[in-house]
């Protein structure tokens, strides 16, 4: 098919025509073998059609990953601790800019873009962090469906951009669905889940990214869900994703997941059968093998050429929307310069994110911030000078990685003495019984003890080389060597500020009472050291909030393999937490007051508005994350104890107050029935607004006193 005479531009090369028309024309020119060559993540070149080779496998979890230099932002769970959707969108937009620069530089230099140099990014990971033992939980946005949906959507919008014709980059929501460990069983595991939990917890964030953020791609998970392989599930892919939600983008398998259908799950007898099952369910691209057997599946009558064409219409459309078949001058992002990569503006953005991610968990006697009156500090601990704890997993590399030690040295006031000793290793006992660390600490005003986890202890199955659980954890405490180290510091009378790294909850146990202050800093990215020091020395007040519950003990958790939500997360757990969801202290004192609602009696389907006052009653300018929770007080079916429905960052000067309005929609009042369908029941509802999830433990730890109001829905 051509436009005009036989010498004119083929339809698929005409950028003025609709994408669907162009894609259909290109497919019509391909042989069956050429079509199949486009069905794997590493798509082959078709020279006579001018189709370049392209690899769909690219990562951008918290910066362009595995492609050399890039700005390294805080790990996803750290970005989640900012509770700042606008910031997340700016970060993702910066990642998209760096991706464009690196992609086009690769094209100019090599004539193609290899793996990790493309524009289709398998991010964000929006699985619900339902169990703190999961090593990949650090990649997620926490345990709450609403927070995950809001921040994940912001990431998608930033990465994909807002140009009316071209995407800056293509985002991918993963891993669809019901996927959060155990890592060692993921290739054979069947996640059994009720329709209520599926639709109340595991699917809402995916639905939001598909229907509202218009994410371009979805990645299927390794596991089965209620007996069906996630990458070939009629319920997940056909009925829900493309049926109920109307998804128009493409679906890609996790890497090797289609081979799991016959090798791990034993649902088919061989690769051609697995390929056919996945293709007919709507999985468009296979990462890894299996779709190389589509020719055999076609010969055996398991699929038709029309099935292949249908998938190609979706995957090639993505490449067209990225401008890959158009003249560079028509694509607004093609001239993005390499100077954006780790630019001063992006480093400042990484610094802002790291600052806002720091969560202050304890501050006995207002030890922090460290003042100019402090004469000496010691920095010690296994993570103080550690690069891995800046990076997390799925990371890029930067020439400006700043460790916690370097950050403290850079920010410490002139005249204040500072020394450094490692003190202990990450996980192995010291081989030398002699250690001068304790002698130095005994004469120091404040000891900054940097401890915690590392991606070597928690991560994906092949990355966590110090984990005996394939990246997961069986216990939530610190390694014993670190616990003993902190105890010995405390016995020597040290005044300890504990700076904790990690991507998941840590049970500090008795250590909590041995230290004076605790800061949880996640895997804070390349600016992490500067950001931590800025909070330590009071240049900034901490404002991060926990995006997941820190339980008292692993004994409070259901079995890891149990995907039922009963007893899990702040929404369903009745055990007292060590630190509640949404918790985080400040250097000032915030007061919530004057909560009012527009009505106390509603009919089903009504919307209620309200407002509250937030006051900075302290002496430090700071930001608070105001959190709104709803509880359906009495329900006919199991329902959450409370549910986050809105949050907002508010910046206030000392003594300043602000009246903050909000709206509660009917959707926020819904609970999920046994059949998985949403419903609104008549009865009493409680609205709670505060600085963390409703929790007596939170108040005891220093969170602001929340305010509550009630309304009723009549029969």
Q: What does the H/E/C string look like for 291-332? A: HHHHHHHHHCCCCCHHHHHHHHHHHHHHHHHCCCCCCHHHCC
* CA–CA separation, 180 and 207 (whole Å): 18
Does residue 686 sit in helix, strand or coil? strand
Would you say residue 452 has pLDDT above 70?
A: yes
State mean pLDDT over 150-167.
98
Nearest to 154 by CA among 234, 64, 88: 88
Do 673 and 630 belong together in one domain?
yes
Domain count, the chain: 4
pLDDT by residue (tens digit) across 112-129? 888 999 999 999 999 999
pLDDT by residue (tens digit) across 4-42? 334 578 999 999 999 999 999 999 999 999 999 999 999
What does 39-90 look like in DSSP terms, one character per residue? Answer: SBSEEPPBGGGTB--EE--BB-SSSSBSSSB---PPPHHHHHTT--HHHHHH
State mean pLDDT over 709-714.
97
CATH, residue 129: 3.20.20.300
Location of structure tokens 């650090």: 138
Residue 9 is predicted with a pLDDT of 85
Do 322 and 373 belong together in one domain?
no
Instruction: Out of 313, 340, 367, pick the residue that ends a domain.
Output: 340
> pLDDT confidence of 243, banded at 50, 70, 90?
very high
Terminal alpha carbon distance of the chain: 62
State mean pLDDT over 126-133.
98
State mean pLDDT over 702-708.
98
Do 370 and 331 belong together in one domain?
no
Do 639 and 601 belong together in one domain?
yes
Instruction: Out of 514, 532, 548, pick the residue that ends a domain.
Output: 548
Establish if 584 belongs to a structural domain: no
Residue 114 is predicted with a pLDDT of 86
Cβ-count burial of 463 within 10 angstroms (0-12 exposed, 13-18 middle, 19+ buried)? middle
State mean pLDDT over 331-345.
97
Do 173 and 274 belong together in one domain?
yes
Q: Please enumerate in sequence order all residues whose Cβ is within 8 A of that of 432, keeping only pairs 6 or more positions apart, or say none.
A: none
Establish if 558 belongs to a structural domain: no
CATH, residue 475: 3.40.50.1700
Instruction: Out of 284, 312, 340, pick the residue that ends a domain.
Output: 340
Would you say residue 2 has pLDDT above 90?
A: no
Task: Indicate if 254 belongs to the active site.
Answer: yes
> pLDDT confidence of 537, banded at 50, 70, 90?
very high
Do 543 and 419 belong together in one domain?
yes
CATH, residue 600: 2.60.40.10
Location of structure tokens 């900054």: 448
Q: Which domain holds residue 65?
A: 31-340
Q: Which of 254, 326, 472, 632 is catalytic?
A: 254
pLDDT by residue (tens digit) across 263-292? 999 999 999 999 999 999 999 999 988 999
Residue 289 is predicted with a pLDDT of 85
Q: In DSSP terms, which residues pair with 446 in a beta bridge?
A: 377
Residue 6 is predicted with a pLDDT of 45
Residue 150 is predicted with a pLDDT of 98
Do 671 and 703 belong together in one domain?
yes
Sign of CA pseudo-dihedral 377, 381, 386, 391 = negative
Q: Where are the alpha helices (DSSP H) in 591-695?
A: none
Do 13 and 89 belong together in one domain?
no
Do 498 and 623 belong together in one domain?
no
Would you say residue 365 has pLDDT above 90?
A: yes
Q: What is the mean pLDDT of the chain?
A: 96
Residue 198 is predicted with a pLDDT of 98
pLDDT by residue (tens digit) across 541-571? 999 999 999 999 999 999 999 999 999 999 9
Do 185 and 316 belong together in one domain?
yes
Q: What does the H/E/C string look like for 129-176? A: CCCCCCHHHHHCCCCCHHHHHHHHHHHHHHHHCCCCCCCCCECEEEEE
Do 385 and 324 belong together in one domain?
no
Percent of the chain with pLDDT over 90: 96
């Amino acid at each position: 098919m051509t436009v005009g005479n036989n010498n004119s531009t083929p339809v698929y090369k005409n950028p003025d025509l609709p994408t669907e028309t162009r894609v259909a024309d290109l497919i019509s020119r391909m042989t069956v073998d050429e079509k199949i060559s486009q069905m794997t993540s590493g798509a082959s070149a078709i020279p006579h059609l001018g189709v370049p080779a392209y690899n769909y496998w690219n990562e951008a979890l918290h910066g362009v990953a595995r492609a050399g230099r890039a700005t390294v932002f805080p790990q996803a769970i750290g970005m989640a601790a900012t509770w700042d959707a606008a910031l997340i969108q700016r970060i993702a937009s910066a990642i998209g800019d760096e991706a464009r620069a690196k992609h086009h530089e690769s094209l100019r230099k090599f004539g193609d873009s290899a793996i990790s140099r493309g524009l289709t990014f398998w991010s964000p990971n929006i699985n619900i962090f339902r169990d703190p033992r999961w090593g990949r939980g650090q990649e997620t946005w926490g345990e709450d469906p609403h927070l995950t949906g809001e921040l994940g959507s912001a990431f998608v919008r930033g990465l994909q951009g807002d140009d009316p014709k071209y995407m800056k980059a293509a985002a991918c929501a993963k891993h669809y669905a019901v996927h959060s460990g155990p890592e060692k069983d993921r290739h054979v595991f069947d996640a059994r889940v009720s329709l209520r939990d599926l639709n109340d917890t595991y699917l809402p964030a995916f639905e939001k990214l598909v229907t509202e953020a218009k994410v371009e791609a979805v990645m299927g998970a390794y596991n089965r869900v209620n007996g069906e392989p996630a990458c070939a599930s009629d319920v997940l892919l056909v009925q829900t994703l493309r049926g109920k939600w109307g998804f128009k983008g493409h679906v890609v398998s996790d890497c090797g997941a289609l081979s799991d259908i016959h090798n791990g799950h034993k649902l088919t007898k061989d690769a051609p059968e697995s390929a056919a099952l996945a293709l007919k369910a709507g999985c468009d691209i296979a990462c890894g093998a299996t779709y190389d057997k589509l020719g055999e599946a076609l010969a055996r009558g398991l699929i038709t050429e029309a099935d292949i064409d249908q998938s190609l219409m979706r995957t090639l459309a993505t490449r067209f929307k990225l401008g890959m078949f158009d003249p560079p001058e028509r694509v607004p992002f093609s001239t993005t310069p390499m100077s954006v990569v780790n630019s001063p503006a992006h480093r400042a953005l990484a610094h802002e994110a790291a600052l806002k991610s720091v969560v202050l968990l304890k501050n006995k006697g207002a030890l922090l911030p460290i003042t100019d009156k402090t004469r000496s500090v010691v920095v010690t601990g296994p993570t103080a000078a550690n690069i891995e704890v800046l990076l997390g997993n799925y990371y890029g590399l930067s020439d400006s990685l700043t460790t916690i030690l370097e950050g403290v040295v850079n920010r410490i006031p002139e005249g204040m003495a500072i020394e450094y000793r490692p003190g202990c290793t990450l996980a192995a006992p010291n081989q030398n019984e002699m250690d001068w660390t304790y002698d130095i600490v005994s004469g120091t005003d404040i000891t900054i003890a940097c401890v915690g986890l590392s991606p070597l202890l928690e991560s994906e199955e092949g990355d966590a080389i110090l984990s005996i659980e394939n990246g997961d954890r069986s216990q939530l405490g610190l390694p014993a060597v670190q616990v003993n180290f902190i105890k010995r510091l405390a016995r020597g009378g040290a005044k300890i500020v504990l700076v904790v790294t990690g991507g998941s909850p840590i049970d500090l146990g008795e250590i909590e009472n041995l230290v004076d202050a605790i800061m949880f800093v996640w895997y804070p990215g390349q600016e992490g050291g500067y950001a931590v020091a800025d909070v330590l020395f009071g240049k900034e007040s901490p404002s991060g909030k926990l995006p997941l519950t820190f339980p008292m003990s692993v004994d409070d958790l259901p079995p890891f393999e149990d995907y039922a939500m009963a007893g899990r997360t702040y929404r369903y757990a009745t055990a007292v937490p060590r630190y509640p969801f949404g918790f985080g202290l400040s250097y000032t004192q915030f007061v919530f007051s004057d909560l009012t609602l527009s009505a106390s009696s509603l009919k089903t389907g009504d919307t209620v508005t309200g407002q509250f006052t937030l006051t900075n009653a302290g002496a430090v300018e700071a930001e608070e994350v105001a959190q709104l929770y709803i509880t359906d007080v009495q329900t006919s079916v199991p329902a959450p104890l409370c549910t986050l429905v809105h949050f907002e960052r508010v910046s206030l000067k000392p003594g300043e107050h602000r009246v903050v309005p909000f709206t509660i929609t009917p959707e926020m009042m819904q609970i999920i029935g046994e059949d998985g369908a949403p419903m609104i029941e008549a009865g009493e509802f409680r609205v709670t607004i505060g600085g963390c999830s409703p929790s007596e433990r939170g108040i005891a730890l220093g969170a602001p006193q929340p305010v509550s109001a009630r309304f009723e829905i009549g029969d």
